[in-house]
Amino acid sequence: MSGLSIGQVAERTGLSVHTLRFYEREGLLTQPVRRGVAGHRVYDEDDIGWLDVCIRLRASGMPLTDIRRYTELVRAGQGNEVERLEVLRAHRERVLAQMHDLDECLKLITEKVAVYEGRLGLRDDLRKCTP
Amino acid sequence: MSGLSIGQVAERTGLSVHTLRFYEREGLLTQPVRRGVAGHRVYDEDDIGWLDVCIRLRASGMPLTDIRRYTELVRAGQGNEVERLEVLRAHRERVLAQMHDLDECLKLITEKVAVYEGRLGLRDDLRKCTP
DNA sequence: GTTTGACTTAGAGCCCGCTCTAGATTCTAC
DNA sequence: GTAGAATCTAGAGCGGGCTCTAAGTCAAAC
């Protein structure tokens, strides 16, 4: 047995139950969610695993439509590796571009921080000289 | 002379004229924009420089409200270095967190790409063996 | 003098990704 | 049996960041 309620999945993934239902509607699950008593969703470990993939992709800025596309390919089963590679490689490019942007920003911050720290240091020095 | 029209600034920064007006309204400029004939905006090199800072901060995900806050501190002139450092250091944390997320995603992609390439290679091998 | 084109304003519209609400159902515990 | 918690559906609402529109002004070119 490994039937998980939506609440349990929310807890384990860090997504809200709202977001879980939303993702399902958006087609981000590789399989239709089973339903238990009273029509309640029943997830399994595979769902958690796939959601973790989705979360990592989202965290790196992949739009929902692209995740859906990738999910569809996975859902369709083996034989579409070329398309899957296309999706992933395209995203890798964007991730690398983002990293570059972050790096640029980090440089800027470091530079500015040095300037401001310098000014503060200077002020301290002056204070020391006029006690 | 170094008076630039909004169109020229758009060209040089890569922002649209719409976005430039929008940023101005949002308080992202360190000084009120001069106006020339017919009330047209006249920018100078300093504006370009500051906009480039804003662009880099935005590209790293800093929200407009934070950029505005930082802009206000800069506009207020020296003496608030401590606050500026607060803003920048807080953002640096977020940038580092994002880099971590991107790194995680890159690992995932690399892993998946290897799997799919493996499957494709396998298929090629089989084809070679049954010519 | 009229057309073209770059500019002005205020404000509406849009896309994305959630996030929340309302009202109903059902299980669990007291 | 009744209260409370968790779930369900459909659909509305929201915040961020643009993006665009409409109606108007002005200068230069023809």
Chain segment A22-63, per-residue pLDDT in tens: 999 999 999 999 999 889 999 999 999 999 999 999 999 999
Of A37-41, A119-123, B7-11, where does the model show the most confidence?
B7-11
CB contact under 8 A, B119 and A60: no
ipTM > 0.85 (yes/no): yes
Same domain, B67 and B40: yes
Same domain, A8 and A51: yes
Using alpha carbons, list the distances in angstroms from residue B78 to A7, A38, B81, B82. 51, 64, 7, 10
CB contact under 8 A, A101 and B59: yes
**Contact list, A79 vs chain B (CB under 8 Å):** none
Q: Where is B35: in which H helix or E strand?
A: strand B34-35
Residues 6+ apart with CB under 8 A from A101: B56, B59, B60
What are the beta bridge partners of residue A42? A34
Same domain, A129 and A100: yes
pLDDT value for B88: 98
Same domain, B63 and B5: yes
Residue B9's CB: how many other CB atoms inside 10 A? Answer: 20
pLDDT value for B49: 97
Same domain, B101 and B128: yes
pLDDT tens digits along B17-68: 999 999 999 999 999 999 998 899 999 999 999 999 999 999 999 999 999 9
Mean pLDDT confidence for A95-102: 98
Indicate the residue of A92, A99, A113 with minimum beta-carbon distance to B99: A99
Same domain, B95 and B53: no
Whether the predicted pLDDT of A1 surpasses 80 = no
Same domain, B15 and B55: yes
Whether the predicted pLDDT of A131 surpasses 70 = no
pLDDT value for A73: 97
Spatial distance between the Cα atoms of A83 and A90, rounded to a whole number of angstroms: 11
Find the Å distance, CA of residue B35 to C1' of nucleotide C2: 27
CB contact under 8 A, A109 and B88: yes
Whether the predicted pLDDT of A82 surpasses 60 = yes
Closest alpha carbon within chain B to A94: B102
Mutate: best of A50, A56, A124, partner B, most B CBs <10 A: A56
Domain residue limits at B63? 1-77
Total domains, chain B:
2
Same domain, B33 and B67: yes
pLDDT value for B123: 72
CATH number at residue A6: 1.10.1660.10
pLDDT grade for A128, boundaries at 50, 70 and 90:
low
Q: Share the mean pLDDT of chain A.
A: 93
Alpha carbon of residue A21 to chain centroid: 17
Q: Are B42 and B3 in contact (CB under 8 A)?
A: yes
pLDDT value for A89: 97
Residue A103's CB: how many other CB atoms inside 10 A? Answer: 13
**Contact list, B99 vs chain A (CB under 8 Å):** 99, 102
**Contact list, A117 vs chain B (CB under 8 Å):** 81, 85
